[in-house]
Chains A and B, each alone.
Chain A
Amino acid sequence: MPSAEGSRGQKGWKLGSGSPPPLGPGRERPERGRAGPRCQDPQADSSISPLPHLESKIQQTHSLARLLTKYAEQLLQEYVQHQGDPFGLPGFSPPRLPVADLSAPAPGHAGLPVPERLRLDEAALAALPPLLDVVRRRQAELNPRALRLLRRLEDAARQARALGAAVEAVLAALGAETRGPRPEPAAAAMAAATATAGVFPAKVLGLRVCGLYREWVSRTEADLGQLAPGGPA
């Protein structure tokens, strides 16, 4: 990042005293007569290519997805710990059901064009927050003292929203169409239903939602990796 020190940052050099000493690598020179570097609007000057901005955006979103993949894994581990065995045991494998408005990435997902994959990623990330909220509310009844789990579920909903918005911005920057009007989420109906459903099915449903969250952020990370500098695209 450019230093904001300006004249203060250089020993023995004062503003307007002549040629400034050479700067170290990676540092931009502030404009003469101004207090420090300023952020230029890349679109104000049409000679500046939008490509570095897009690359930077993709890189940032990819990094975010990588971080959230790690968090999603931690959420899943925390979740199974509080449901008790057999949740979390190596052989435990409840049926992987489709959840309303959301299913796991299809086997053919990786074969789609990158913009289409990102559209599907964005749609899934938009569907996840209300589902995570439902799971959090049910877990607040089942595990009221599991404060870290409840906080992770709340954070996951927020993070899914943020990653979805970032992917949507990348799609817009690529000039790709984003999804059309989104259907009303079925989360409200799901919330009412899970409130009356048995505890074991509610635990399984929560596991499914946490698993889907992990699958989709991981999928998003992989798809963005195709576009990030150094990726195949």
Chain B
Amino acid sequence: MPAGRPGPAAQSARRPPPLLPLLLLCVLGAPQAGSGADTAVISPQDPTLLIGSSLQATCSVHGDPPGATAEGLYWTLNGHRLPPELSRMLNASTLALALANLNGSRQQSGDNLVCHARDGSILAGSCLYVGLPPEKPFNISCWSKNMKDLTCRWTPGAHGETFLHTNYSLKYKLRWYGQDNTCEEYHTVGPHSCHIPKDLALFTPYEIWVEATNRLGSARSDVLTLDILDVVTTDPPPEVHVSRVGGLEDQLSVRWVSPPALKDFLFQAKYQIRYRVEDSVDWKVVDDVSNQTSCRLAGLKPGTVYFVQVRCNPFGIYGSKKAGIWSEWSHPTAASTPRSERPGPGGGACEPRGGEPSSGPVRRELKQFLGWLKKHAYCSNLSFRLYDQWRAWMQKSHKTRNQDEGILSSGRRGAARGPAR
């Protein structure tokens, strides 16, 4: 707007109201032209255009008294004054505008193209809709919660950026008969989703697709065909309990109940368990927990808090051959493993990682030695297992040394020794 423009009250006092107010008075049932008003009309009104296209517009002034001129008129677009070289007087009462290579609309309600009088007052306005037609929506995925409903989500084509309001409509019908139906509950799980709450048939396939429409055209996705029974999910398993396994320091027991909504239909079910240490973000997943409602986690750290979650996949419902859809994870349940009873000098337990059993008089002497250690030494939790681990390592190390010496003797002089451990 030009600087120093007088306020609207002064304008009203000085001159008859311009066209836009008269348009609004028409809208509101007030008297038409002839009331002493300048009027102007922008053509075209509210056009829709492709990005990159051009626009030729005119602002025609009518006046009372007749002879109102377009001299001094100017254009703004979204509040910015357009360069004078884009305008030209077509005749005494008409100012033309030529815009080329239009960008996408700045707001969904349309770009505001306004024709101003010399003093900056608004004579007329028109809203431009510049954008792209929708592209084909794709990647439709659907799931049914306990066979009672169907929720679908999709990806809009061209990443959704058409610069115009684009309406998405999810349609569905029974494959072999029935009419097209339109989903009504949108945005249930994100901006491009819809929920069908009821009246769904089982054991018969549905065809599902999405139609995208805006001012510049429409597009339709590919059709997805599915049977509700093949896309069933359910609630997370309830009543997940995690508890210690006696005094075992490295184990926790997880128990749960199968989801009640499907308990009469779940002839089979798969479960997954995931767990993590309290202050970690890395989950470990136990995958093959089939059709059972308990599991023992092993190899855990002693004296550590673990968070545990369980989820269910109701596959094979009513004989469906397809994998079901995993439920959400249950709420995290926490439990801690028992602490080690006798920490070593470094504060940790001397725990073996496995070993091989051995026998004989050496073991008897070793047993006595270990008993003596428990009474008289700090590292009192040494055990046969640790001894067996050492023996296995010794055997392996001896074997490796023999192999190296064999290699060296075939190609080199001198012995190669493995690194000291």
Contacts and interface: CB of A to CB of B under 8 A. Distances in A.
A208 B45 CA distance: 21
B110 A95 contact: no
A86 B5 contact: no
Interface string B114-129: 1000001110111100
B1 A92 contact: yes
A199 interface: yes
A117 B28 CA distance: 26
B8 interface: yes
Contact of A84 (B5, B17, B106): B106
Chain B interface extent, by class: 35 or more
Contact of A82 (B23, B109, B125): B109
B109 A186 contact: no
Nearest to A91: B1
B78 A200 contact: no
B24 interface: yes
A86 B124 CA distance: 13
B29 A189 contact: yes
A86 B1 contact: yes
B380 interface: no
Contacts of A82: 107-109
Contacts of A189: 28-29
B8 to A, nearest CB: 5
Interface in A70-106: 82-87, 89, 91-97, 99-100
B84 interface: no
A144 B110 CA distance: 13
Contact of B20 (A95, A100, A144): A95
A200 B27 contact: no
A196 B273 CA distance: 60
Contact of A194 (B27, B112, B121, B127): B27
B29 A144 contact: no
A142, A144, A198, A203 — most chain B CB neighbours (10 Å): A198
Nearest to B113: A200
Contact of A204 (B7, B24, B29, B111): B24
6 contacts: A82-B109, A92-B79, A93-B1, A189-B29, A200-B114, A203-B109
Interface of B: 1, 5, 7-8, 11-12, 17-18, 20-21, 23-30, 45-46, 76, 78-80, 106-114, 120-122, 124-127, 165
Interface of A: 82-87, 89, 91-97, 99-100, 142-146, 186, 189-190, 193-194, 197-201, 203-205, 208
Given A97-B17, A144-B108, 19 more contacts: A84-B78, A84-B109, A84-B112, A85-B79, A86-B78, A92-B1, A93-B8, A94-B8, A94-B20, A94-B122, A95-B122, A97-B21, A186-B28, A198-B127, A199-B126, A200-B124, A201-B20, A201-B23, A203-B109
